[in-house]
A and B are shown apart, each in its own frame.
Chain A
Amino acid sequence: MSSQATTQPQPRRYLAYARRSLLVSIWFAILTFPIIVIRANTITGTITWRWHNIGWIVGGTFVGSWIWRYFLERKRAGAAATMGPLRQRLAASRAIVAQAVRRPAVARGGIAALLLLVVAFPFVGGMYQTNIMTTALLYVVLGLGLNIIIGLGGMLHIGYIAFYALGAYSYALLNFHFGLNFWLALPVGALVGGLFSLAIGIPVLRLRGDYLAIVTLAFAEITRLVLENWSSLTFGTAGIRNIPRPAIAGIRLTLPQTTTFVYFIMILMVALTIFVVNRLENSRIGRQFVAMKEDFIACQAMGVNIARTKLAALGLGGMWAGLAGVVFAARTTFINPASFTVWESIIVLCTVVLGGMGSIPGVITGALVLILVPEYLRAFAQFRMLLFGAVLVTMMVFRPGGLIQKRRRAYTISAQEKQVAGEIGDPGIQG
């Protein structure tokens, strides 16, 4: 049916589209009618009829269905076949950019400009902007951490925020009881996050893949409930107040100064995360992660210890959440369990999925877009979660690899090395 449509002449094809889209919009009008049109308030016993909403639904689904069908067909036909002039030009310009970036002068210039932007931001943007950016940076670290587990290791983890919570509480509580300072709390938080992540990994090692999702979710909920109810330790829902901000010994900082200071701490942390994740990716362990994600049976047969590799991904991923949690606690100076609900985990998941699983620039883009766009487009704020949901579904249907897709690294082997390889064959199996 769809393949026929693509071979039909344009006007007929559009007519067919229009007919289907009309049917779809009628279906949706009926489907959404009770919820969209009628609002029942059983407290006051009133009913409001909002007939105008029908118009929105019909119009929206008509256009939506058209676009949906168009892209679905294009996806089926394969990207190459439908490479229109626009896309060709886009690809060409992308190639030019890629080539330019590879030139050392341009690359150096780009890095310098980026650095300048990053350093100047808090002074130009002011405290409000800096705060928002710091939040976004926290999500970048969370996204990159979760990316180790999901994007590289291929394990769907939906309890990631629990390690963030544990990091935050480690700092808050250790500071409260023992006066541990922020700097010492950082490694402690990372350790706590990593160890807990390992601890929940061990029981699920034997389980099939999708059970991991539910067990991690369960674990996150247990963590939150314990934080909520174990009041003698955690102060329950009231949370912990007056957590000290990061400080440098002997220097008193004003609030705006601290904000800037935290911003730079986050910049450094993001840089560190990128550095480490990038190195992990391009190493033996990174290869193991990807191979395990691709086909764990073949991976095992090739001699990779799957259990160890899974645990490594979980531990390395959990660390970053713990680390970010410490900064979060120090920045807001107040934490309570309500900040660590399942939906927080899902937002982090969204950043990874939208940006591109397994791709560092992808995850950074994803986190910045998902956190900054709702901040700046206040009108959208109430639709935020709705849109997140829609984004997840749409991405999975049309571009499961995310906005910026991971490209595998190419290795260069010199002509001389090639010749040597051709001569000796494999050193291993000769002996």
Chain B
Amino acid sequence: MNYFLGLFVSGLTRGSIYALLALGYTMVYGIIELINFAHGEIYMIGAFTALILASVLSIAGLDAISILVIASLVAMIYSAAYGFTMEKIAYKPVRNSQRLSALISAIGMSLFLQNYVRLAQTSNFLPFPTLIPRFGFLQQLTFQVTSAQFVIFVTTTVVMILLTLLIKFTRIGKSMRAASQDKTMAMLLGVNVNRVIALTFIIGSATAALGGVLISSFTGQINFYIGFMAGIKAFVAAVLGGIGSIPGAVLGSFVLGWTESFGAGYISSDYEDVFAFAILVLILIFKPSGLLGRPENKKV
């Protein structure tokens, strides 16, 4: 039973992380119908920025909590800036070209950012400082939950709620929804679509950076390549849930997280990624629009 609970918690943690990333995918896809392959790289850059900042700050002698807060905030701001710049360079100019062009541009961006970090920093794994403090009350549970897992889960929940509120109730959220339904119409109604798209990238990237900082604290090490797999997985989660749908992204993330951790725990840990991809293919075969996605309806 404890083994099961352990796997359950580890699946939940993974799911939370995937969710933080999947949100960005789903939001961007909802508005410009682009698979932003470089989203995982934004997450990686967030983690690196935090690592660099934490190193500098710890030499300056700050305490762990302040470092965690400052590093996360700065990482989020920086990643948001990267996301914003990336959209301006690689996506905005191809917005009116073929779908294929935008996708290839995104792959190029991903390749570029990875190697940018590899060359400027290192290709080796770096240990990530332990920034999350230990919580005493977690030790009293019968199954193992680490402080990092706890923080990850709580943060994800909070971010999710904030995002939902933002999209449901604010002006920005309304513009986003309008732009995702019909860009031309939204434009005619006075929505600044360019700004909405930029904002979507900013919000998505900041969320991804938060994910980057948290997961790195949890795994304890990073390198330039961590964004790629995480990005793919998060994208799989977003597609599983039905791309474009925010609750779908969350649901998909948890389904994926549990599939992986139970698959690894009960069948074979070598094939963890295989389970992730297999469930994607399976769900797409039986429900091509994902768990919560609306069926596609191509206008002729």
For A384, the closest partner residue in chain B by CB is B115
A386 pairs with B112, CB closer than 8 A: yes
Residues of chain B within 8 A of A226, CB atoms compared = 274
A31 pairs with B97, CB closer than 8 A: no
B239 pairs with A34, CB closer than 8 A: no
For B116, the closest partner residue in chain A by CB is A386
Complex partner residue of B126 from A41, A218, A385, A391, CB under 8 angstroms: A41
A156 at the interface (CB under 8 A from B): yes
Assembly CA distance A47 to B55 (angstroms): 8
Residues of chain B within 8 A of A38, CB atoms compared = 52, 56
A175-216 with Cβ < 8 A to chain B: 203-204, 206-211, 213-215
B113 at the interface (CB under 8 A from A): yes
| A204-238 interface code vs B (CB 8 A; 1 in, 0 out) | 10111111011101110110011011000000000
Within the complex, what minimum Cβ distance (angstroms) separates A17 from chain B?
17
Within the complex, what minimum Cβ distance (angstroms) separates B61 from chain A?
14
B89 at the interface (CB under 8 A from A): yes
A35 pairs with B45, CB closer than 8 A: yes
Within the complex, what minimum Cβ distance (angstroms) separates B202 from chain A?
13
Describe A's contact surface by its main secondary structure.
helix
B300 at the interface (CB under 8 A from A): yes
Assembly CA distance A43 to B129 (angstroms): 10
Given A42-B51, A47-B56, A393-B90, CB of A208 within 8 Å of CB of B104: no
- Identify the stretch in B177-185, B190-198, B280-288 within 8 Å (CB) of chain A at 4 or more residues: B280-288
Assembly CA distance A349 to B270 (angstroms): 29
| B89-112 interface code vs A (CB 8 A; 1 in, 0 out) | 110011001111111110111111
A210 pairs with B113, CB closer than 8 A: no
A256 at the interface (CB under 8 A from B): no
Assembly CA distance A154 to B97 (angstroms): 14
Which among A28, A211, A342 has the greatest number of chain B C-beta atoms within 10 A? A211
A389 at the interface (CB under 8 A from B): yes
Residues of chain A within 8 A of B93, CB atoms compared = 72, 397
Interface residues on A, range: 35 or more
Complex partner residue of A349 from B56, B99, B104, CB under 8 angstroms: B104
B115 pairs with A214, CB closer than 8 A: no
B278 at the interface (CB under 8 A from A): yes
B126 pairs with A389, CB closer than 8 A: no
A393 pairs with B108, CB closer than 8 A: yes
Assembly CA distance A400 to B93 (angstroms): 11
- Identify the stretch in B11-19, B77-85, B153-161, B168-176 within 8 Å (CB) of chain A at 4 or more residues: B77-85
A213 pairs with B35, CB closer than 8 A: yes
Residues of chain B within 8 A of A41, CB atoms compared = 122, 126
Assembly CA distance A36 to B78 (angstroms): 13
B107 pairs with A34, CB closer than 8 A: no
A107 at the interface (CB under 8 A from B): no
Residues of chain A within 8 A of B107, CB atoms compared = 158, 346, 349, 392
Within the complex, what minimum Cβ distance (angstroms) separates A177 from chain B?
23
Interface residues on B, range: 35 or more
A361-412 with Cβ < 8 A to chain B: 382-383, 385-386, 388-397, 400
Residues of chain B within 8 A of A217, CB atoms compared = 232
Within the complex, what minimum Cβ distance (angstroms) separates A45 from chain B?
8
A150 at the interface (CB under 8 A from B): yes
Complex partner residue of B277 from A219, A391, A392, CB under 8 angstroms: A219
Within the complex, what minimum Cβ distance (angstroms) separates A247 from chain B?
36
B5-55 with Cβ < 8 A to chain A: 33, 35, 45, 48-49, 51-53, 55
B141 at the interface (CB under 8 A from A): no
Assembly CA distance A385 to B97 (angstroms): 25
B188 at the interface (CB under 8 A from A): no
A47-88 with Cβ < 8 A to chain B: 47, 53, 72
A396 pairs with B55, CB closer than 8 A: no
Assembly CA distance A28 to B120 (angstroms): 15
Which among B53, B127, B274, B298 has the greatest number of chain A C-beta atoms within 10 A? B274
| B236-264 interface code vs A (CB 8 A; 1 in, 0 out) | 10010000000000000000000000000
Assembly CA distance A388 to B118 (angstroms): 14
A111 at the interface (CB under 8 A from B): no
Given A210-B99, A229-B270, A385-B111, CB of A393 within 8 Å of CB of B89: yes
A40 pairs with B273, CB closer than 8 A: no
B201 at the interface (CB under 8 A from A): no
Residues of chain B within 8 A of A47, CB atoms compared = 55-56, 59
**Other CB < 8 Å A-B pairs besides A34-B78, A42-B127, A385-B115, 11 of them?**
A39-B52, A40-B121, A42-B129, A154-B100, A206-B285, A211-B284, A343-B111, A349-B104, A385-B114, A386-B116, A396-B108
What are 8 contact pairs spanning A and B, CB under 8 A? A203-B281, A215-B281, A228-B270, A383-B119, A391-B108, A393-B112, A397-B93, A400-B101
Q: Across chains A and B, which 9 residue pairs bring their CB atoms closest together, nearest first?
A: A392-B108, A389-B112, A389-B111, A218-B277, A40-B55, A386-B115, A396-B105, A393-B108, A229-B270
Residues of A within 8 A of B (CB): 27-28, 30-32, 34-36, 38-43, 45, 47, 53, 72, 150, 154, 156, 158, 203-204, 206-211, 213-215, 217-219, 221-222, 225-226, 228-229, 297, 342-343, 346, 349, 353, 357, 382-383, 385-386, 388-397, 400
